[in-house]
Chain A
Amino acid sequence: MKRKIRMTIGSAALAGTILLLTAAGAQQRGAVVSSRPTAYDATREKVLQGTVVSYTEDSSRPPMGAHVTVQTASGTVDVHLGPASYLRSNHFSLAAGESVRLVGVSVQTKGGNVFLARMAQHGTQAIAVRSPNGFLLANSPARALLQSERAPNAQQRKPR
């Protein structure tokens, strides 16, 4: 059985009708929604510099993952770095007493404010842990490899 809506729309007029209906739909979706305070708003990015107080790979504080506590000129800041495994695989580590420079955004969680780091740097080590719009780069990095870089993975021949 044909949909009632299709019976009322002639094929000749379909393309134009779709465009009009789509535009109407888009208008309904056009309302700007303010991000909640838990969101990474790139327009609020700032640089944080200080000294590492402590580094934990599997913090009990949310968000889950690696956290570093940094002493800055304006106080102590809890920084989220994402999965520790990603930091390890990129040979990035932090230890108490080291100077660190971070770029990111401070967000609210149920446990208090947390600085979501996008970039972390200490000494000659630097790592990007989030994309410019704030998403963890630990997700599927192999899909971004060049074709030539994928070849060794293809040769692993594990069962699919």
Chain B
Amino acid sequence: MSARKKRLALLVWVTLALFAAACGGGSESNPGPGPGPTPPTAKFSNASFSGQYAFSMSGTELCAGAGSFFGRAGTFMADGHGNITDGLEDVNICTGVQTLQFTSGTYSIGSDGRGALNLTNSSGTTTYSIALSSATQGFIAQTDVDITASGSFQRQNTGAFTNAAIAGGYSFDFKGVDVAGTTVNPASIIGRFDADGGGGVANGLFDSNIAGTLSGQQAFATDSFCRIDANSDGITFGRGTARIAGQDFVFYVVDATRVKFVGTSFPSAFVGDAFAQQNIAFNTASVDGSFAFVIAGSGSSGSIGTAGRFTADGGGGITNVVIDENNNGSITQLPNGSVTGTYTVDNNGFGGGTLTWTDSNKGTFSFIFYLISSTEAVLQETDSQIISDGTFSAQTTSSISAAALAGDYVFGWSGVSTGQEDFVGQLTFTSSGSFSGLLDFNEFTSGKQFFDVPISGSLALNGDGTQANTFTVNLQTTPPDAFSFTVYVVDQDTLLLVGVDTNRVIAGMTIRQP
């Protein structure tokens, strides 16, 4: 994959992991017996997972008898032989913020890139399922009872653990909860800043959506910063602290192009990533071509996930809007009537902008974005009391065929049925669009952690493949279960998807393995 695709590949996942979660039992399903898929050719082993990896994730923990949002970010060192030798993490949980050092851990990686990871710190051992898209990155889902979460990990460049390496423009997307008095509000903050290479920031701009209240574009406060820890945490782990967009954070550096954040302004909590911006002055012409997107979050009905595609004409016009929105089980698909749309890019060159379309039957959908490049952006919905965010990415200009999609993929999905659920797995598409694979998932409550579940199904492409495509996943659980998705293809390496079942909301992405 190209450098851009590598960065895109796991861009979406962190920002999708939050839904309005509540404590509750999941659907009754257990892995059942049956023939699994034919194992793919061995591409991965414990040796594939070697080096220092930064991770971040968000999810739901059981606290005071109810589900509660939490986030974590950190780093661990894998020795290539199944052992975790060191690491550090910061967690924002229902009782406060803690910094914990990993004293040990183990992992095992299968030939398909799926694996198990255990991380031990002074509080005990937490368990995870992981899926490697390559030796340098993958999806991760926590699989403990009463704690489920999902996110991504990337191998760190230890040479970037300096303030000087973190320089230039960065766009960010933070999702979480903002606590005001006794009210816990779903919240999204997106924006951008310039890191000055010395721990300072300038030109900081953000838009927050807290329980449907839009901040409008705001400038960072003058006391904002983003600096690597001066002690060994910074040198060894790439850890730092930041005050940006009105919130305090701990961050872990992946490399100069990506930084992973967890909020520390307890009891509020945010998790997200910042991505180095393309070094240009953005304008309206910067958004030109077809784009696919996926966003997720909360609305007044509950959890919401939306995926779709649109075409920008480079001059402020939007056409060819197709979307699937799952609003806690109520599905809205566009176009329904006639759809018209427009977009703007701020005239300051920093890449902020607006995106709006109106369906004559279904109403207006509006968004704020901050461009990462002319092909990627972080995206936040701003209409109808919806707090939902994610990314959009330039679609391939070529048609997509099932044959072009044949191959091995890993996936990370997050969602809600009666409680939060997080999925990681691997599958192999044939040239006809059928697939088989294996899946781990956590439905939060006791007895609802499932491993090595065989899956099969099909991806039916619509037209040239760049529109809404039908993806059906059959789970060999007891009793059997099936998920229906709409897939929007970014390119032959990356698929964005949203579930269109009425009994669960799932969003996520599927990306090609080498």
Contacts and interface: CB of A to CB of B under 8 A. Distances in A.
By secondary structure, the B interface counts as: strand
B328 A63 contact: yes
Q: Which of A116, A131, A134 has the most CB of B within 10 A?
A: A131
Contact of B179 (A14, A35, A144): A144
B219 to A, nearest CB: 5
Contact of A131 (B211, B352, B386): B211
Contacts of A58: 418
A10 interface: no
A136 B382 contact: no
Given A21-B347, A63-B327, A26 B216 contact: yes
B66 A158 contact: no
Given A84-B24, A85-B23, A159-B126, A24 B348 contact: yes
A64 to B, nearest CB: 4
Contact of B95 (A25, A136, A139, A153): A153
Contact of A130 (B22, B93, B269, B300): B300
B144 to A, nearest CB: 7
Given A110-B331, A144-B179, A28 B20 contact: no
Contacts of B91: 160
A63 B267 CA distance: 29
Nearest to A118: B300
Interface string B56-88: 000000011111110010000000000000000
Contacts of A139: 20-22, 67, 69, 177, 184, 186, 298
Nearest to B266: A143
A80 B330 CA distance: 13
Nearest to A85: B24
Nearest to B303: A64
Interface in A124-146: 130-131, 133-145
Q: In which size bucket is the chain A interface?
A: 35 or more
Interface string A32-51: 01111111110000000000
A159 B91 CA distance: 11
Interface in A3-60: 3-6, 14, 18-19, 21-22, 24-26, 28-31, 33-41, 58, 60
B348 A21 contact: yes
A160 B93 contact: yes
Interface stretch (B202-210, B229-237, B244-252): B202-210
Given A89-B65, A142-B63, A136 B124 contact: no
A158 B418 contact: no
Given A3-B281, A24-B347, A160-B98, A18 B217 contact: no
A39 B300 contact: yes
B57 to A, nearest CB: 12
A101 B212 CA distance: 26
Contact of B64 (A26, A109, A136, A141): A141
Contacts of B384: 35-36, 38-39
Nearest to A58: B418
A149 B94 CA distance: 11
A111 interface: yes
A39 B347 CA distance: 32
A92 interface: no
Contact of B219 (A19, A83, A135, A153): A19
A62 B417 CA distance: 12
B417 A64 contact: yes
A85 B418 contact: yes
A40 to B, nearest CB: 3
Interface in B208-225: 211-214, 216-219
A124 B481 CA distance: 41
B300 A40 contact: yes
B125 interface: yes
Nearest to B94: A142
Contacts of A142: 63-64, 66, 68, 94
B211 A136 contact: no
A110 B20 contact: no
A83 B418 contact: yes
B123 A157 contact: yes
A33 B95 contact: no
A64 B194 contact: no
B324 to A, nearest CB: 12
Interface in A49-107: 58, 60, 62-65, 80, 82-86, 89, 107
Interface of A: 1-6, 14, 18-19, 21-22, 24-26, 28-31, 33-41, 58, 60, 62-65, 80, 82-86, 89, 107, 109-111, 114, 116, 130-131, 133-145, 149-150, 152-154, 157-160
8 contacts: A3-B280, A60-B503, A62-B330, A64-B502, A65-B302, A134-B385, A142-B94, A160-B123
Given A82-B22, A143-B267, A153-B95, 12 more contacts: A21-B346, A21-B350, A83-B418, A85-B23, A114-B301, A134-B385, A138-B66, A140-B66, A140-B67, A142-B66, A143-B94, A153-B63
Interface of B: 20-25, 63-69, 72, 91, 93-96, 98, 100, 121, 123-126, 144, 146-147, 168-169, 177, 179, 181-186, 194, 202-203, 205, 207, 211-214, 216-219, 267-269, 279-281, 298-303, 327-332, 344, 346-350, 352-354, 356, 362-366, 368, 382-386, 416-419, 502-505
Q: Which 6 A-B pairs have the closest CB atoms?
A: A159-B124, A40-B300, A62-B329, A21-B348, A39-B384, A36-B363
